[in-house]
Chains A and B, each alone.
Chain A
Amino acid sequence: MPERRANAEGTLLAGLRSGDETAFAALVDDLHGGLLAFARTFTSSPALAEDIVQETWLAVIRGLHAFEERSSIKTWVFSILVRRARTMAARDARQSGPHTNGSTEVEWEPGQGRRGLWEQSPVPWALEDPAMIHQSQEAFEVLQSTLDAMPETQRQVVLLRDVEGLPAIDVCNVLDLSETNQRVVLHRGRARLRKALDRYMQDGSRPPSPAGRGAGGGIR
């Protein structure tokens, strides 16, 4: 962890441990959206996802004094969420039946499956400035619906690595994945997202919204 970041973490943790409510509220506000998006990978029920996040925060409050600082606070909070979510989603699944995991389409497996190296060479996207894509609500919607349709683990790895920005080693620990497995899953997930953006950039096509979400519902 870079030194400045480590100092900020130390200040935050000291604040939390001394009962600084403002620091705690800021942390809750900062992480809530990301935690909720992540909790939704474990369940199709929005209410249960909210419960999982709430239980996570209560466990964080109880665990603050025992937190050993072997990871960042953010990673620690996400790892607590995974444990709560696995218990709570399993309990819920017994009552309501398993939810579907979306398609298992594989976009690219490095080194296997395709004889030619490029069946279709990527064509550059017509962007004067790559940053233009960040202004595009539609591009984000394409990414969101592609994420929503991913198999559970793939979606979790991409969310933690590329959306939340956790280091690879933390993601392995949080999700109980080997380094190799994490790498392969991430690679496929990223390839899939690139391909979805490519389809959108080349001909404006957008992936269908998964059932249960309105158009663009994931982004609001």
Chain B
Amino acid sequence: MNCYETIDLMGDALEGCLAPESRAGFDEHLEECAACRNYLDQLRITLDALERLPRPRVTNPRRSELIEAFHRLRENKD
């Protein structure tokens, strides 16, 4: 497996869904290639950070309008 192929599979590997038949070649390449190991580490850190990316910190300004609409629809149905 070369660097291209290895990098292509890194997303799968980080998500734990690497195809079993690719596992050996993938691990073997990483063993030999420090550049790809570094890349994989950095990709892992990037994905961890994305998972924690702060969302816009706002309360829905029309929150009460929604809850009222929810309430109204439920009432009409009963």
Which A residues contact B (CB, under 8 angstroms)?
19, 21, 24-25, 28-29, 32-34, 36-37, 50, 53-54, 57-58, 61-62, 65, 108, 110-111, 117-118, 121-125, 127, 130-131, 133-134, 139-140, 143-144, 158, 162-163, 165, 183, 186-187, 190-191, 193-194, 197-198, 218-220
Q: If A25-B67, A125-B42 touch, does A36 touch B4 (CB 8 Å cutoff)?
A: no
Number of chain B residues close to chain A: CB under 8 A: 45
In the complex, are the beta carbons of B55 and A165 less than 8 A apart?
no
Within 8 Å CB of B2, what residues of A?
Answer: 117
Within 8 Å CB of A36, what residues of B?
Answer: 55-56, 58
Complexed CA–CA distance, A124 and B5 (Å)? 21
9 pairs of A and B residues whose beta carbons are closest in the complex: A33-B55, A19-B74, A121-B35, A117-B3, A122-B38, A162-B50, A110-B8, A194-B46, A111-B4
Which B residues contact A (CB, under 8 angstroms)?
2-5, 7-8, 11, 34-35, 38-39, 41-63, 65-67, 69-71, 73-75, 77-78
In the complex, are the beta carbons of A197 and B49 less than 8 A apart?
yes
In the complex, are the beta carbons of B50 and A19 less than 8 A apart?
no
In the complex, are the beta carbons of B54 and A140 less than 8 A apart?
yes
Q: If A25-B63, A163-B53 touch, does A62 touch B7 (CB 8 Å cutoff)?
A: no
